[in-house]
Amino acid sequence: MRQKLVQVEIVPGQVPRAEVLVVGCFDGEEPSAAGLPGDVARALERAAARPGFEGREKQLVEATVESGPVAAVALHGLGKRGDLDARKLATWLDRCLETLRTNGVEHAAWLLPDCPETRGAAAAERVCRRLTLGAYRYDRYREEGSYPVRLQRVSVLPPDGEEEAYRGALDHAAAVAHGVAFTRDLANSPGNVADPEWMEDRARELAEEHGMAVEVFHRRELEEKGMGGILAVGQGSSREPRLVRLEWGSEGPVVALVGKGVTFDTGGISIKPSARLDEMKYDKSGACTVLGIARAVARLGLPIRLRVYVPLAENMPDGAAYRPGDIIRCYNGKTVEIMNTDAEGRLILADALALAVEEGPEAVVEFSTLTGACVVALGHYGAGLYSPDDELAGGLLAGAEAGGERLWRLPLWPEFAEEMQGTHADLKNTGSRWGGANTAAAFLATFLGEHRRWAHLDIAGPAQIPKENNGSKGATGYGVALTVNWLKGLAQG
């Protein structure tokens, strides 16, 4: 699976030959024409003088350049300078990229505004990554030419003095962008194609490409190991479950990444309503995320010993499906009473987490579209973070802030764990309707034993943009940037 991404180059102090120069202007301010060639500067002045243009957010005016390295100037309003934050800057970049794609632009130059959100290494990486992903479209099943995507190259003119930061950010940004695109491709793939076997094949291709060791536990191995959670969730489907384990790196800290891979979730016997059921192909987003992270880490060559665990199953309701009231035994010996077969993700994660901890990593980070309750709490704008380890939580939060991804820490109070105690088994797989994201996290904690350096990220909200939201619908690749930032910091000590 290959995505054509945009080539980003840094060209300080000069306007390269391109079809259009993109410029941002703050509300109530004049755009700076300093250093621009004469005709380009005059075109920018003409655009700024257009009646009604004040630099308000979403305003756009264009002017033709009579003679110069670019054919036109596109002047975008940024709103009030004091209101611009990293998220608004990202939204502006996306809006500009959409306009360029719609107009069939192949090569654009970009004069970045001089403000705190465009200065420094973290800002440079965010900008370069966003631009690199500027041509992304999941078009595998679209008629050729359906998307007017032609953007191939963006030349960035950074703020004065920021050339080194932007040049230094290019490799990191490109690696993360490739990981994000890979994650999006996997997650966007439909359930009739992206079943557990298909996901295994993609993981094997990734392993072969980057020299990773790969091990797969199919039904027989799952039975031998006593991984009753994965087996139970997958037993109602004709597409057999499995667990994929990848290993990369020979030096540095040992980190385990675990990702929920329910390739399609009907809810099983506790079947879901039909509304938005098509979006349940995204219930494998956690698995897609950890594979995308692994791709980025390998591309960067980070000194990390990475272990990736991907439990895969399809949750279907047929005569062999597991039932409410069933009791299953997971890999660590804990028994679980099934209250709701739609609380399936935590069951396949239970086996994978127990295996990951058994192999003695220094840290475990798990990603899953686990609960609608977390979406109720945080919307589609950020993920919930659970961890008993303040240092690990702080590192992930810092990685999220640097990467421009929202992450919010939520509690692991003992009452949530008490609520998950079973009646006829050690545990039950659901609690009450209150604090559902928290009780789910407490359930997972049971399978990490005495290992405290772990984190659970409930990415149900930001993993994909739903139909009713504005923006490019589909998978986002959330979590790749923040985790690679954290791993890079961990590797550097």
- pLDDT score of 154 more than 80: yes
Task: Check residue 82 and report its DSSP letter.
Answer: G
pLDDT tens, residue by residue, 229-266: 999 999 999 999 999 999 999 999 999 999 999 999 99
Q: How far is CA 456 from CA 281, 396, 412, 487, in A?
A: 21, 11, 11, 16
Whether the per-residue pLDDT at 144 is higher than 80: the answer is: no
Q: How far apart are CA 357 and CA 370, in angstroms?
A: 20
Q: What is the pLDDT of residues 356-410, one digit of tens each?
A: 999 999 999 999 999 999 999 999 999 999 999 999 999 999 999 999 999 999 9
How much is the average pLDDT of 5-22?
94
The yes-or-no verdict on residue 166 having pLDDT over 60 is yes
Q: Go through the domains of the chain in sequence order and give each one's CATH number.
A: 7-158 (3.40.220.10), 181-492 (3.40.630.10)
pLDDT score, position 315: 98
Q: From residue 414, give the alpha-carbon distance in Å to each of 362, 367, 420, 441.
A: 24, 22, 10, 11
pLDDT value of position 307: 98
Among the listed residues 88, 95, 225, 272, the single catalytic one is 272
8 A C-beta contact, residue 265 and residue 283: yes
DSSP letter, residue 28? T
Distance between CA atoms of residues 434 and 373, nearest Å: 9
Please report, as a single letter, which amino acid is at residue 248: W
Is 119 assigned a catalytic role?
no
| pLDDT tens, residue by residue, 445-460 | 999 999 999 999 999 9
> What is the rounded CA–CA span in Å between residue 330 and residue 358?
14
- What is the pLDDT, as a whole number, of residue 158? 96
* pLDDT, position 493: 79
184, 202, 281, 346: the catalytic one is: 346
pLDDT value at residue 34: 80
DSSP SS3 for 363:
strand
**Residue matched to tokens 């499995």:** 242
CB 396 within 8 A of CB 402: no
Comparing C-alpha atoms, which of 263, 334, 257 is closest to residue 297? Answer: 257
| Whether 452 is catalytic | no
Q: Among positive and negative, which fits the CA dihedral 365, 227, 194, 300?
A: positive
